[in-house]
């Protein structure tokens, strides 16, 4: 058996299991301490891993543990969904939302975020759904990644946090979601 040729080769993207959730929650707390993501906080990090309308969730793993997470959800009042509907005439039943994407600090710069995003977007595409998402304007690294992937900016919105804060966000569609059927 040959050794992996790079760190990225050792990374595996797979469907998340319930057994992964405690490790995902611990990783999310690290991300929050570093980046302030998610903006809602991490008081219930394990519960946050089960958003309303969850369709699928993925993790990036390597032999030493989990590196990151991404989910695909049904629409739930998302600004990006409304923008895609207005722009294309698609119905909400034709749309999925990329959500809960994060990469732990030790895995950054290895392409893990892109691999997770690609897995989630591939799931949506295989389900014949157009994918959309939002990202906080403060998260410049994520925005750069999405733009390099060919995601299409739909517009700007404000993310409303339970404590009354509003945080500027950008809404995107996956490549191909705007100009063709999924």
Instruction: Report how far apart, in Å, the C-alpha atoms of 4 and of each of 9, 17, 44 are.
Output: 6, 25, 36
Domain count, the chain: 1
Length of the chain (residues): 182
The answer as to whether 78 is a domain residue is yes
Tens of pLDDT along the chain (182 residues) come to 334 445 556 999 999 999 999 999 999 999 999 999 999 889 999 999 999 999 999 999 999 999 999 999 999 999 999 999 999 999 999 999 999 999 999 999 999 999 999 999 999 999 999 999 999 999 999 999 999 999 999 999 999 888 899 999 999 999 999 986 54
The answer as to whether 1 is a domain residue is no
* pLDDT for position 1: 39
What CA–CA distance (Å, rounded) separates 158 from 171? Answer: 10
Burial of 20 (0-12, 13-18, 19+ CB in 10 A): buried
Q: Look up the domain containing 25 and give its range.
A: 8-173
Q: What angle do CA 68, 181, 97 make, to 5 degrees?
A: 30
Element containing residue 97 per DSSP (H, E): strand 95-103
pTM: 0.91
Over its C-alpha atoms, the chain yields an Rg (Å, rounded) of 16
The answer as to whether 125 is a domain residue is yes
Distance of alpha carbon 15 from the chain centroid: 14
* pLDDT for position 5: 47
Where residue 89 sits, what CATH number does that domain have?
3.40.630.30
The answer as to whether 180 is a domain residue is no
């Amino acid at each position: 058996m040959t050794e992996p040729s790079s760190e990225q080769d050792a990374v595996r993207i797979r469907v998340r299991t319930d057994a992964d959730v405690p490790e995902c929650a611990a990783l999310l707390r690290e991300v929050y301490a570093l980046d302030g993501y998610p903006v809602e906080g991490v008081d219930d990090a394990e519960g946050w891993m089960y958003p309303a309308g969850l369709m699928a969730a993925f993790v990036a793993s390597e032999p030493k543990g989990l590196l990151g997470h991404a989910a695909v959800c049904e629409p739930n009042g998302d600004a990006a969904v409304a923008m895609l509907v207005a722009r294309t005439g698609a119905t909400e039943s034709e749309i999925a939302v990329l959500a809960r994407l994060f990469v732990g600090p030790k895995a950054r710069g290895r392409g893990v975020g892109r691999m997770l995003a690609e897995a989630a977007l591939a799931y949506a595409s295989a389900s014949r759904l157009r994918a959309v998402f939002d990202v906080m304007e403060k998260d410049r690294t994520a925005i750069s990644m999405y733009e390099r992937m060919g995601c299409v900016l739909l517009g700007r919105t404000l993310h409303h946090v339970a404590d009354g804060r509003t945080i500027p966000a950008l809404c995107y569609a996956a490549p191909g979601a705007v100009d063709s059927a999924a």
